[in-house]
């Protein structure tokens, strides 16, 4: 469930835990007692419509990992090699269906009442899974912007993500719009698939629940194919029928003719129906893809960067796992105070912080955009056991 690695001293301790997978698979219960009551108490002085991007959670509401790690896990913690299926598709239609299934595979169930840490500025997360090397960096703190670059030189596949969550309080719920775009490049085929992210919905009343909702559009300009997927959640205890449903279509962008219909539940199975012959094929099975996931392990502690998420938050994570909330509060305060001190030092010298692994741009029209500095992500000292 957890690995704690020391690289010579306590300051180099690295804490890694299993990713969140399907319900019932976690080795530890992260949920605080009476989570709804505690969550509501947090928001008693927050006005509806408020921006929560600077809202700080006490450690009792945290899972022992950073949001950067959660983003990364959705790419490298997977039981089935979905990317090889994308690259191995014989036709543009085969590849587009595989990319659609891969996009669905990046979703993970969420736990009501807890959330990961907000990454600090310059925090990184660098992990390898087989030939896939994944690197994330927090390129902005206010507003929070995370960049991801992943490459597989054997498959000749590249991923570039830029995420900017914008959470707002709506009285009985919090909805975080995840701005930015995701790109998946199948370089052997000269195809780039561009897609957006779903919104995160945390509902307090009338029934508590946390889920991914909204619409995802996937576009491939080179093939002229597009997909529109609608994700819904009726996460009330008495209405499970449409829980985590996904419906949509794949169509030709020039003629607008639908070629495939998509239907299912992203935490169970999703099927695609060929409109031309009515054939139904299961393209995604959650139990096969996001079950039995294991925690990454440290292969070479000396090569782990001091900015690594699992090192930055190690004392906080260890305290949360031990349910020592006072120690967790103190450890979290140390991390946050260090960041404030670094900010004051930069301000006093008139310096502007620059990301190490990405170039970042922002415009009113396009929002935030991140481009990796390196062509290929190098192998990481933290690896996923195969």
Least confident of 27-41, 258-272, 276-290: 27-41
The region of weakest confidence among 56-60, 97-101, 175-179 is 56-60
**Token pair for 226:** 């597009």
Count of structural domains, the chain: 1
Q: Does residue 34 register a pLDDT over 70?
A: no
Give residue 168's pLDDT. 83
Closest to 77 (Cα-Cα) out of 176, 178, 150: 150
pLDDT in tens, 213-245: 999 999 999 999 999 999 998 644 445 556 899
Q: Check residue 43 and give its pLDDT.
A: 65
Q: What are phi and psi of 101, to 5 degrees?
A: -65, -40
Taking 80 as the threshold, does the pLDDT of residue 11 lie above it? no
- In the chain, what percentage of residues exceed pLDDT 70? 86
Comparing 356 with 170, the larger pLDDT belongs to 356
Over residues 24-53, the mean pLDDT reads: 64
Nearest to 140 by CA among 347, 328, 343: 343
| 89 in any annotated domain | yes
Q: Give the integer Cα–Cα distance in Å for 133 and 379.
A: 6
Position 378 pLDDT exceeds 80 = yes
Looking at residue 10, its pLDDT comes to: 43
> What pLDDT was estimated at residue 285?
97
Task: Tell me the pLDDT of the chain averaged across its residues.
Answer: 89
Rounded CA gap, 258 and 99, in Å? 17
Read off the pLDDT band of 170 (50, 70, 90).
confident
Q: Is residue 177 part of a domain?
A: yes
3-state secondary structure 297-356: EECCHHHCCCCEHHHHCHHHHHHHHCCCHHHHHHHHHHHHHHHHHHHHHHHHHCCCCCCC
Q: Would you place residue 172 in the very low, low, confident or very high pLDDT band (cuts 50, 70, 90)?
A: confident
For residue 340, is pLDDT > 70?
Answer: yes
Q: Is residue 272 one of the residues assigned to a domain? A: no
Residue 9 has pLDDT above 50, yes or no: no
What average pLDDT score do residues 365-386 get? 94
Note whether residue 85 is domain-resident.
yes
pLDDT top residue among 169 and 31: 169
Whether 336 is covered by a domain: the verdict is no
Is residue 291 predicted with pLDDT exceeding 60? yes
Q: Is residue 340 part of a domain?
A: no
Look at residue 255 and tell me whether its pLDDT is greater than 80.
yes
* Whole-angstrom distance, CA of residue 260 vs CA of residue 85: 18
pLDDT at site 66? 96
The residue range of the domain holding 101 is 35-210+293-297
For residue 151, pLDDT beyond 80: yes
Query: Is the distance from CB of 30 to CB of 307 less than 8 angstroms?
Result: no
Does any domain span residue 94? yes
What pLDDT does residue 39 have? 64
Give me the pLDDT at residue 365, please. Answer: 82
Q: Is it the case that residue 300 has pLDDT exceeding 70? A: yes
- Kindly give the interhelix angle for 325-349 and 314-321, rounded to the nearest 10 degrees: 170
Residue 118 lies in a domain: yes
């Amino acid at each position: 469930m957890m690995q704690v690695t020391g690289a010579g001293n306590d300051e180099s301790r690295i804490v890694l835990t299993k990713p969140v997978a399907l319900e019932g698979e976690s080795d530890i219960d992260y949920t605080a007692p009476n989570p709804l009551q505690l969550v509501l108490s947090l928001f008693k002085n927050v006005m509806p419509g408020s921006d929560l991007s600077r809202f700080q959670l006490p450690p009792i509401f945290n899972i022992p990992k950073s949001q950067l790690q959660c983003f990364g896990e959705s790419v490298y913690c997977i039981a089935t090699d979905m990317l090889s299926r994308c690259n191995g598709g014989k036709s543009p239609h085969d590849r587009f269906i595989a990319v659609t299934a891969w996009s669905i595979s990046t979703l993970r169930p969420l736990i009501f009442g807890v959330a990961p840490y907000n990454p600090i500025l310059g925090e990184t997360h660098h992990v390898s899974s087989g030939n896939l090397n994944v690197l994330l960096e927090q390129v902005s703190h206010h507003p929070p912007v995370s960049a991801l670059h992943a490459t597989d030189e054997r498959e000749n596949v590249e991923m570039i993500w830029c995420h900017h969550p914008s959470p707002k309080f709506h009285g009985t719920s919090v909805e975080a719009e995840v701005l930015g775009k995701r790109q998946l490049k199948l370089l052997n085929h000269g195809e780039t698939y561009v897609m957006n992210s779903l919104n995160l919905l945390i509902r307090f009343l009338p029934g508590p629940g946390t889920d991914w909702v909204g619409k995802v559009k996937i576009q491939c300009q080179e093939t002229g194919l597009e997909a529109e997927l609608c994700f819904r959640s009726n996460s009330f205890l008495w209405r499970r029928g449409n829980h985590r449903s996904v419906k949509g279509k794949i169509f030709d962008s020039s003629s607008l003719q639908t070629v495939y219909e998509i239907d299912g539940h992203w935490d169970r199975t999703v099927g695609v129906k060929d409109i031309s012959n009515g054939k139904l094929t299961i393209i995604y099975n959650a139990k096969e893809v996001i079950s039995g996931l294991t925690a990454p392990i440290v292969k070479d502690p000396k090569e782990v960067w001091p900015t690594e998420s699992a090192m930055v938050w190690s004392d906080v994570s260890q305290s949360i796992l031990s349910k020592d909330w006072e120690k967790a509060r103190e450890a979290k305060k140390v991390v946050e105070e260090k960041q404030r001190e670094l900010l004051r030092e930069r301000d006093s010298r008139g310096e502007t912080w620059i990301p190490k692994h990405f170039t970042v741009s922002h415009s009113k029209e396009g929002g935030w955009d991140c481009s990796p500095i390196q062509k290929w992500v190098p192998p990481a000292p933290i690896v996923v056991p195969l």
